[in-house]
Structure 1
Amino acid sequence: MLCPHRMQTMEGFVVTEETATRMVEYDAGPVLPFHRRLVLSASSGSFSDGYVLGVTGIALAVATDTMDISDTWQGLLGSSTLAGLFFGALICGRLVDRFGRQPFFGPLMLIFTLVSLLQLLTSPDWSLLIVRFIMGLLLGGDYVSSKALLAEVSPRHWRGRALGALGFAWTLGFAAAYIVGLLMRDLGPDSWKWILATSAIPSIISFALRIGAPESPRWLVQNGRVAEARKIVTSRMGANYNLPETAPKSVEPSLRALFRSDTARSTFIACLVYTVAVMPTFALGTFLPRVVETLGVENPYTGSLGYYCCAAIGPFLGLLVIDRLSRRTMAFGGFLVSGLLLLPLMISGASPLFIVLVFATFALVTKATSTVGYVYPSELFSTELRGRGVGLAVASSRFGASALTFFMPIVVGNFGVVAALAMCVAVLLAGGVVGYIWAPETSSRALDPAASS
C-alpha cells in the first residue's frame, strides 16, 4: 500500500503529491546540459560528414594536376560517397526504427575512421571508388540515427536550433576540408591521398564524444521498454519529467507505410526538401574550382575560398532565424532566392570579382536557409516511421546529388558551364514552387502529432 500522499504512475515510478504538481512534460522543459552534450556529439558527426564530402573536390583537383583523370572518372569518384549515402540511409532507416538509434549512433563513426585510413592505400580508380562508397554507406547510417535521436530528445521550443546545429556543423566541416586541402596540396605527388585521409581525424573525435550516449526514450516507450525509458529520463533529465507520449505503434511498419494516403504527402515533401537543398550544393561544391576557372577567374582556388567562407557563415545565420520564420518560408523561399542568384552567371562577360561575389552570396543564402532541412523532415514523421522516413529522404537527396555531381564535369566539358548552371537553377526554382504549393507547416506542432495531421 502506498501512503495517501504518494502515488504510482503507469511506469511504476513513485512520486509524492508535491512532486506530481510540478511534473514537467518530456519535451516542454528547459534546455539541460544533457541536451547540449547530445547536440555537440551529434554535430561532431555532421562535421565529419561535411568534411569527408568537402575534401573530395580539392583532393580531385590536386590529383588531376599530376595524373590524367578523365571527366567520367572524376564524376564517378566525386559521386561515389553520395551513392553510398543513398544505400546507407535507405538500409539504416529500417534498422534504426527496428533496433533503436543508439546502436548506430557511436559505433558507425569508429568504423568510418578505420575505413577513412584505407584511402592511403588506394589509387584514383576502382580501389578509391569502393572505399569512398563504403564511407558513404556509413555516413548514411549516421545521418539517420543522429537526426532521429536528436529530434526525439530535444525540447520542442529548442528543436529547430538543436537540429539546425547539425547543418551548421556540416558546413563548417565542408569548409574546413577545403582549407585543409588548400594547405596540403603542395606536399607532393601523393598529397591528394593524405588530404582524403585527414577525414579520419574528426570522425575519431566524434566517436569519443558519443561514448555513453543513451537510447531515445521516445523510441523505448513506443517499443514497450518503459522501465528503460524511465531510467534514462530520470538520470539524464530529472525525476520530475514525464515520459514522452507517442502514437500507437502499428504491426512492424514497412517502407510501404511511407506511401499510405495519410503519409505520402509528408514523404514527398521530406524528399523534396532534402533533395533540392543538396543537389546544387554538392554539384557546385565538389567541382567549384573547375567551374570558377571556366567562368574566367584566374586563380580558381583563391576564387573559391569566398564561397566556402560564406558557406561556413550561412548556417550560423540560419540558426538565428530558424525559430522566427515558418518552415515553409525558410525552406522553399530559400530555394527560389538561391536559384535567382545564379541566373546572372549564365550571362557571358561577367567580371571575375562579380563571379566570386555571386558565388559567395549564393553560398550564404543556400546554407542559411538549408539549415531548416535538418529539422523539417524529422518533424514530418511519427516515431515509428522517423528512421525510415528520414532515411528515404536522405537516400533520395543523395541519389539526386550523386547524379548531378556525376554529370557536372561531363556537362561542363561538353556543353559549357552555362548549361551546368542552368541545371542547378532549374532544380532550385522548381523545388521552391512545388514546395510552396504542397508543403505543410510543422514548426508549432508536437513531434508525433506533426506526422499524423
Structure 2
Amino acid sequence: MSIADRLERLPFSGFHCRLLFLGGAGYCFDGLDGAILAFVMPALQHLWGLSMTQLGLLGSGAFFGYFIGALSAGLVADRWGRRSVMMWALACYCVGSLISALCTNWHGFVLSRVLAGVGTGAESAIIAPYLSEFVPRRYRGAFTGALAGFFSFGFVGASLLGYALVPGSENGWRWALGLTACPVVMLLWWRRSLPESPRWLVGSGQGEAAHRVLCGIEKSMGVASPVYEAEVALSTQMPMRGQFLRLMGAELRRVTVMSWVLWLSVTFSYYAFFSWLPTLLIARGFTITHSFGFSIAICVAQIPGYFSAGFCNEYFGRKATVVTYLAAAMLSAVAMEFVSTSGGVLAAGILLSFFMNGTFAGVYAYTPEIFPTALRATGMGTASAIGRIGAIAAPLLIGALYPSSGFAGVFGMTALILLAGALCILLLGPSTVNRSLEEIEDAY
C-alpha cells in the first residue's frame, strides 16, 4: 500500500485536531499581526505627524516583508522540507514584532515591520500546503477552510487589543504590538513534535522516513501499519530556477496564472478594506472610540464567514465557494460605496467582512490542491507572494486615492477588483471536488 493510500484511509482523529490547532494558532497570530497595524496607525499618525502618504508607506512595510517571506518559504519548503520553514518563520515574526513595539521613529518602525512580515508571509504560505498533505480527500476542504478560519480570531483579538489599549495611553500602541508577539514563544515549543510531511518525504526520495512518520501517526490512531514496501519513486527535487520554470510550463501555466490573479484581487481588496478601516471611519466623522467599536463588530463577522465557507468547501466544492463568496463580497463593496448612515456603513461592512473572509477560506483550501506535491509549497508561496503585491499596493493606493475620490471611490475600485478575481477562477480554475491530491496531480 502506497504512502498516499495509507494517508487517504486514515480516520479523522486527535492527531488531525492537533494539526488543526497548531496550524490554526499560527494563522491566528498572522491575522493578529496583519490587523493590529490598522489600530495603531491613527496613534502613530498623531505621534510622528505622518501624512497620508507616509501612513500608507508605514502600512505597506509589513506587506513587503510578506512578499519576501511567502516567495522564499515556498521555494525552500519544496526543496528542504516544510516543518523547519514553519518554525523559523514564527521566530522571525516574534523578533520583528517585539522590535517594532520599541521603535522611536517611523523609519525604524517600517523596517521592523518588514522583518516581522517576512516571518508572517512565510508562515501563512507554508501552513496550508504542509497540513493539507496529511488530510484525506473526504474532509480536506473543511479542514483547510477551518484552518484558515483561525485568521478571524487574530483579527478579533487585534480589534479588542486596539480598542482596549491604544486610545487609553500614549504608549498603548507599544503594549498592543508587544502582546501580539509574546504567545508565539509557546507555540514554537508546541510545534517541536510536528512530523515532516510523508508525501514530501516520498517525493524527495525518503520513502523509509515517510513510512516511519506514518507508522507513528497510525499507531496514535490505533490503525495497523502495513509492512513497508519501497515505492518506486524518484526524487522530484529540482533547482529553484527549475521550480519556477515548471510553474510556467505548458502543464501548469493556466492554473499558475489563475492563482496569481485570484490572490492578487482578493488580497488587494482585503487589505484595502481592513488596513484602513478605523482610519477611514474616523475620516468620515466617527470618533476614534466609535470607529474602533464598529471595527470590532466588523471583525467578529469574519468568524462565521470563514467557517461557513469551510462547510461550503466540502459540500459545494472549493471553486464554487470562492466564486459565490467573491460575488457576494463585490455586492457588499458596492453597498459600502452608496450607504450614508452609520447603521448602513456597519451593515455593509459586516457583510463585506463575512464574504471576504469566506473567500479566503476557499482560496486557502483550493490553492494547495491545484499544484503537484513537488511544487505545492512553491505554487502556494508564489501565489501568496503575488497576492502580497496587492497588499503592498493597497495601503499606498488608498492613501493616494481617498483625498480625491473619497469613501465611494475606494469601495467602487474594490468592487471592480473583486469582479476580476471571480471571473478569473470561474473561467480558468479546475475543479478539485472529491479528488485526492494524487488524482489532481495526475490530471496534468
With the length of structure 2 as denominator, give the TM-score of the two structures. Answer: 0.91
1:447 and 1:211, CA in 2 relative to 1: closer, same or farther beyond 3 A? Answer: same
Q: Which residue of 1 aligns with 2:98?
A: 117
Of 296, 307, 319, which residue of structure 2 is paired with 1:328?
A: 319
Of 352, 356, 380, which residue of structure 1 is paired with 2:346?
A: 356
Q: Please state how far the C-alpha of 1:26 moved relative to its aligned partner.
A: 1.7
**Whole-Å Cα distance in 2 between the matches of residues 187 and 245 of structure 1?**
62
Of 419, 426, 429, which residue of structure 1 is paired with 2:409?
A: 419
**Whole-Å Cα distance in 2 between the matches of residues 313 and 35 of structure 1?**
22
Q: Which residue of 2 aligns with 1:100?
A: 81
Maintained 8 Å contact 2:93/2:117: no
Q: Which residue of 2 aligns with 1:371?
A: 361
Moved more, 391-400 or 101-110: 101-110
Q: What residue identity is the alignment partner of 1:288?
A: L
Q: What residue identity is the alignment partner of 2:88?
A: P
Q: Which residue of 2 aligns with 1:402?
A: 392
Maintained 8 Å contact 2:22/2:187: yes
Q: Please state how far the C-alpha of 1:254 moved relative to its aligned partner.
A: 2.2
Moved more, 55-64 or 405-414: 405-414
Q: Which residue of 1 aligns with 2:206?
A: 225
Moved more, 134-143 or 371-380: 134-143
CA RMSD of aligned residues (A): 2.3
Maintained 8 Å contact 1:89/1:391: yes
Identical aligned pairs, as a percentage? 23
**Whole-Å Cα distance in 2 between the matches of residues 48 and 311 of structure 1?**
15
1:103 and 1:413, CA in 2 relative to 1: closer, same or farther beyond 3 A? Answer: same
Q: What residue identity is the alignment partner of 1:352?
A: S
1:376 and 1:292, CA in 2 relative to 1: closer, same or farther beyond 3 A? Answer: same
Measured against aligned partners, the alpha-carbon deviations of 1:61-92 in whole angstroms (never above 9, x if no partner) come to 22224441111221111111111111111112
Q: Please state how far the C-alpha of 1:241 moved relative to its aligned partner.
A: 4.7
Q: Which residue of 2 aligns with 1:20?
A: none
Q: Which residue of 2 aligns with 1:338?
A: 329
Moved more, 25-34 or 39-48: 25-34
Within 5 Å, give how 1:173-184 maps onto structure 2. Answer: 173-184=154-165
Maintained 8 Å contact 1:314/1:363: yes
Q: SS at the partner of 1:122?
A: coil
Q: Which residue of 2 aligns with 1:75?
A: 56
Maintained 8 Å contact 1:273/1:331: no
Q: What residue identity is the alignment partner of 2:70?
A: A
Maintained 8 Å contact 2:237/2:374: no
1:111 and 1:41, CA in 2 relative to 1: closer, same or farther beyond 3 A? Answer: same
1:431 and 1:186, CA in 2 relative to 1: closer, same or farther beyond 3 A? Answer: closer
Maintained 8 Å contact 2:89/2:118: no
Q: Which residue of 2 aligns with 1:283?
A: 272
**Whole-Å Cα distance in 2 between the matches of residues 126 and 418 of structure 1?**
31
Structure 1 alignment gaps of length 5 or more:
1-8, 12-22
Q: SS at the partner of 2:9?
A: coil
Moved more, 31-40 or 297-306: 297-306
Q: Which residue of 2 aligns with 1:38?
A: 19
Q: Which residue of 2 aligns with 1:159?
A: 140
**Whole-Å Cα distance in 1 between the matches of residues 189 and 49 of structure 2?**
39
**Whole-Å Cα distance in 1 between the matches of residues 161 and 53 of structure 2?**
26
Structure holding more helix per residue:
2
Q: SS at the partner of 1:214?
A: coil
Q: Please state how far the C-alpha of 1:248 moved relative to its aligned partner.
A: 5.8
**Whole-Å Cα distance in 2 between the matches of residues 399 and 250 of structure 1?**
29
Maintained 8 Å contact 2:319/2:362: no
Maintained 8 Å contact 1:266/1:451: no
1:29 and 1:246, CA in 2 relative to 1: closer, same or farther beyond 3 A? Answer: farther
Q: Please state how far the C-alpha of 1:209 moved relative to its aligned partner.
A: 2.4
Q: Which residue of 2 aligns with 1:135?
A: 116
Q: Which residue of 1 aligns with 2:224?
A: 240
Count of residue correspondences: 433
